[in-house]
Structure formats: C-alpha cells, structure tokens
C-alpha cells in the first residue's frame, strides 16, 4: 500500500503547524491562556486547561484561573465548556457570570480536579452555570 503525502491544498484544510488552528478547529495550546470576559467585556480570568472526556473526546470543562497577582493567590474554577462562547472581536471567551458569582462558584484545584468529584458534583457545576451537561450533548 502506498502512502501519499498531503498536498499544499490538503494541508491548508488541516491547519498550519505554526498557527495550530483552522477556520473551525483550534489546538488546545491556543485555548490555554486565553482571556475570559463577562458580557460587558471586562476580563474575569483566563483558561488554564481543558478537561476532555476520554471516551468521547468531548471538551467537558475549562479550568479557569481568577484573581491573584503575578500568578500568586489565584483561584481555579471549573467552568462547563458549554457555558463559554468564543468572541472573535474580543479574542476571548465569554461567560455570562459576574465576578461575585464566580467567587461563589464551586472551586477546583489547578489540575482541574475537585476532591468531591463525582456525577453529583458535575451536575451541581452545570446547574450553577445554567449549562447543558456535556454528557447530554
């Protein structure tokens, strides 16, 4: 069996290794570090990592950092991926939540894990953000 290397036009559809994105897809390393803003455009944090369901490959959550100064004293929050919307004009993700609501939301560790992690915890997080659970999308 002969393997044929992709042509230049094929590669343009797959995205460049220098940009890590296509018109419809983006690499996780491009999402990490992206600002998160509220609907007013105010910055409320940044995405630290994505949590992906192993069996389906669906992005379940973004772990977002909030607060602190120069990386010290930050808090981490698990935000359902379905609660975030990318806003190209802001080059940021938007979540319809205030800073006070974020402070009161279920916290998580920097690794995206919560000691009480289970389906009940996941349901609580999705209800808090009024987000569609990833397992029912």
- For 31, 109, 112, 130, the CA distances from 72, given in Å and listed in that order, are 21, 14, 17, 30
Domains and CATH numbers, the chain: 37-131 (2.30.30.240)
| Model pTM score | 0.74
Q: What pLDDT score does 107 carry?
A: 66
Contact of 76 with 108, CB cutoff 8 Å: yes
Asked if the model's pLDDT at residue 28 lies above 50, the reply is yes
Mean pLDDT check: name the lowest of 42-46, 72-76, 96-100, 129-133.
72-76
Instruction: Give the separation between CA 31 and CA 87, rounded to whole angstroms.
Output: 13
pLDDT band for position 93 (50/70/90)?
A: very high
Q: Does 95 have pLDDT greater than 70?
A: yes
Q: Is the pLDDT of residue 9 over 50?
A: no
How far is C-alpha 26 from the chain's CA centre? 11
Which band of pLDDT confidence, cut at 50, 70 and 90, is reported for residue 5? very low
């Amino acid at each position: 069996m002969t393997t044929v290397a992709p042509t230049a036009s094929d590669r343009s559809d797959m995205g460049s290794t220098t940009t890590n994105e296509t018109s419809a897809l983006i690499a996780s390393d491009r999402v990490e570090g992206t600002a998160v803003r509220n609907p007013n455009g105010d910055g409320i944090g940044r995405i630290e990592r994505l949590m992906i369901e192993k069996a389906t490959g669906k992005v379940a959550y973004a772990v977002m950092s909030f607060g602190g100064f120069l990386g010290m004293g930050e808090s981490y929050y698990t935000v359902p991926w379905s609660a975030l919307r990318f806003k190209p004009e802001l080059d940021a993700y938007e979540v319809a939540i205030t800073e006070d609501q974020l402070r009161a939301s279920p916290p998580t560790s920097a690794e995206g894990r919560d000691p009480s992690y289970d389906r009940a915890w996941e349901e609580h997080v999705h209800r808090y953000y009024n987000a569609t659970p990833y397992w029912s999308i």
